[in-house]
């Protein structure tokens, strides 16, 4: 096994955790390789590898164990299952009982879901730090013989990705360690194994995104042949999302308006086009997605298909009942009768059920989500008619989408809300409903409930043992133990 610090960093504490590793992460590029040959190819590989912790490929990190939350990225567990939209399986059983503990909010700090989330995110941080350190060094850029334009574009991508990984960490764990450079020894690892106030994390996220926006070219796709790369549109959209979570409503509007003026994105005429494998990067709505590819070595497919083949990932009754009558989005998300989760398979067929190497992309930001952020910002700034207008725009696309059977929804389906409504509580209810129907199974639900501060109300009504301290997840006990206790725990865990 490689012994470099970078190859060991599958969690915060670098080599302290490496003794449990059975293989190096896929796509690994070590500091030694870059230092010895700082070519365009090695720097490109450093940036490309920074995307990979976003993937749903099984066994990507470490030994790929279920018991450490590393078989597959646990986004759907901490968002859809925790948020009450998704059951672990169609038929209840004891398989991977720790997922049921997350669903019930009966988990402890040793639950694999949190170790998995922490590990994936800090692996992303470590990879972006390596790329940023090299691409920020003029001597390395000169030695590699790459243009300033190319160096800036790659640096912008890495900064965007670091902001993305830290967003995951701060929204789920609160105060976390802040690492902004590669670590090289035990002393450095122990020194930074301390949590900093989350305000510092948010500020670092804003700084990274601002710098990324200054470096990336103003184009929908900075590299036409590689549309999966982070773009200026992804940066501006993510700045809006950060502002949404920190309740900076004017900035949400500013960033979304700037993005609208570019005309890069719009709602697809058909709801399912964003998820259709045959239309990846050809439709108009997806802003940022992880590009899963099938049949490659090392494997880069979407392993959600494996889980679907084993009976995982079923809708809750509450989720199904939440849809308005005849809403086409329900059956595009999941066909209950045949137990097919179309949205996660990228096909209106069982073709990828059981396929652990599916080509289905993992959508992380799309335009409908962004429009609903803007609607929320309008609502919070008392521009009620504007908020309702955007909600109605999302509803109109949904009702005009042909059903999975190729038919039109019945007249009266998803009627427009009254733009004269002036009660913010009513409008907020409409907004919350629309986000659940539009974005179901896209790993947003629990974050929405938390930032709206309604998680206790909603989840306890579903019979879950949710308590106020669950607004943050616990720091993985394994990380606290490895740090010798220097990483403190969140309250009441």
Tens of pLDDT along 362-410?
Answer: 999 999 999 999 999 999 999 999 999 999 999 999 999 999 999 999 9
The pTM of this model reads 0.94
- pLDDT beyond 80 at 29: no
pLDDT tens digits for range 402-460:
999 999 999 999 999 999 999 999 999 999 999 999 999 999 999 999 999 999 999 99
Q: What's the pLDDT score for residue 36?
A: 59
- Residues 472-484, mean pLDDT to the nearest whole number: 93
Q: How far apart are CA 216 and CA 163, in angstroms?
A: 15
Q: How confident is the model at residue 10 (pLDDT cuts 50, 70, 90)?
A: very low
333 is a domain residue: no
Most distant CA atoms of the chain, gap in Å: 67
Q: What is the mean pLDDT of the chain?
A: 92
- pLDDT beyond 70 at 42: yes
Lowest mean pLDDT among 19-28, 175-184, 264-273: 19-28
Q: Which residues pair with 478 in a beta bridge?
A: none
107 is a domain residue: yes
389 is a domain residue: no
119: Cα within 13 Å, side-chain hemisphere: 33
271 is a domain residue: no
**Which domain covers residue 55, as residue numbers?**
1-216+453-493
Q: Which CATH number is 134's domain given? A: 1.25.40.390
CB 83 within 8 A of CB 315: no
246 is a domain residue: no
Q: How far apart are CA 294 and CA 419, in angstroms?
A: 46
- Residues 275-294, mean pLDDT to the nearest whole number: 98
- Helix ranges (H only) for 263-403 are 304-309, 317-321, 328-333, 342-345, 367-380, 384-400
Domain tally for the chain? 1
Q: How far apart are CA 138 and CA 141, in angstroms?
A: 5
23 is a domain residue: yes
365 is a domain residue: no
416 is a domain residue: no
């Amino acid at each position: 096994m490689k012994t470099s610090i970078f190859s060991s960093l599958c969690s915060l504490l670098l080599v302290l955790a490496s003794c449990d590793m059975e293989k190096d992460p896929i796509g690994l590029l070590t500091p030694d390789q870059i230092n010895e040959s700082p070519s365009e190819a090695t720097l490109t590989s450093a940036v490309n590898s920074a995307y990979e912790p976003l993937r749903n490929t099984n066994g990507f990190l470490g030994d790929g164990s279920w018991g450490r939350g590393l078989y597959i990225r646990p986004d759907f567990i901490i968002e859809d299952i925790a948020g009450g939209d998704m059951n672990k399986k169609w038929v209840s059983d004891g398989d991977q009982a720790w997922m049921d503990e997350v669903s019930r909010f009966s988990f402890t700090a040793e639950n694999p879901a949190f170790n998995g989330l922490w590990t994936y995110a800090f692996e992303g941080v470590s990879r972006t730090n390596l790329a940023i350190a090299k691409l920020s060094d003029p001597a390395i850029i000169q030695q590699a013989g790459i243009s300033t334009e190319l160096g800036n574009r790659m640096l912008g991508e890495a900064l965007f990705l670091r902001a993305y990984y830290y967003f995951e960490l701060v929204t789920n764990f609160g105060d976390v360690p802040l690492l902004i450079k590669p670590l090289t020894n035990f002393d450095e690892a122990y020194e930074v194994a301390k949590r900093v106030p989350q305000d510092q994390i948010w500020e670092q996220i804003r700084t990274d995104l601002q710098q990324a926006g200054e470096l990336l070219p103003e184009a929908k796709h900075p590299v036409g042949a590689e549309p999966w790369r982070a773009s200026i549109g992804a940066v501006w959209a993510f700045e809006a999302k950060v502002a949404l979570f920190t309740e900076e409503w004017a900035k949400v509007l500013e960033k979304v308006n700037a993005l609208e003026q570019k005309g890069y994105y719009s709602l697809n005429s058909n709801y399912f086009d964003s998820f259709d494998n045959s239309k990846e990067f050809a439709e108009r709505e997806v802003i940022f997605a992880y590009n899963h590819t099938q049949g490659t070595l090392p494997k880069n497919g979407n392993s959600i298909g494996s889980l679907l083949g084993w009976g995982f990932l079923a809708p809750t009754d509450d989720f199904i009942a939440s849809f308005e009558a005849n809403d086409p989005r329900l059956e595009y998300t999941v066909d209950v009768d045949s137990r097919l989760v179309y949205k996660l398979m990228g096909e209106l067929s069982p073709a990828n059920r059981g396929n652990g190497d599916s080509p289905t992309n993992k959508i992380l930001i799309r335009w409908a989500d962004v429009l609903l952020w803007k609607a929320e910002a309008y609502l919070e700034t008392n521009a009620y008619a504007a908020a309702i207008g955007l909600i109605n725009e999302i509803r109109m696309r949904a009702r005009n989408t042909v059903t999975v059977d190729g038919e039109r929804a019945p007249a009266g389906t998803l009627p427009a809300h009254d733009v004269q409504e002036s009660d913010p509580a009513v409008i907020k209810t409409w907004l919350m409903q629309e986000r659940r129907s539009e974005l179901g199974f896209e790993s947003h639900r629990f974050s929405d409930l938390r930032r709206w501060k309604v998680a206790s109300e909603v989840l306890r009504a579903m019979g879950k043992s949710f308590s106020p301290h669950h607004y943050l997840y616990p720091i993985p006990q394994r990380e606290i133990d490895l740090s010798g206790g220097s990483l403190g725990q969140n309250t009441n865990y």
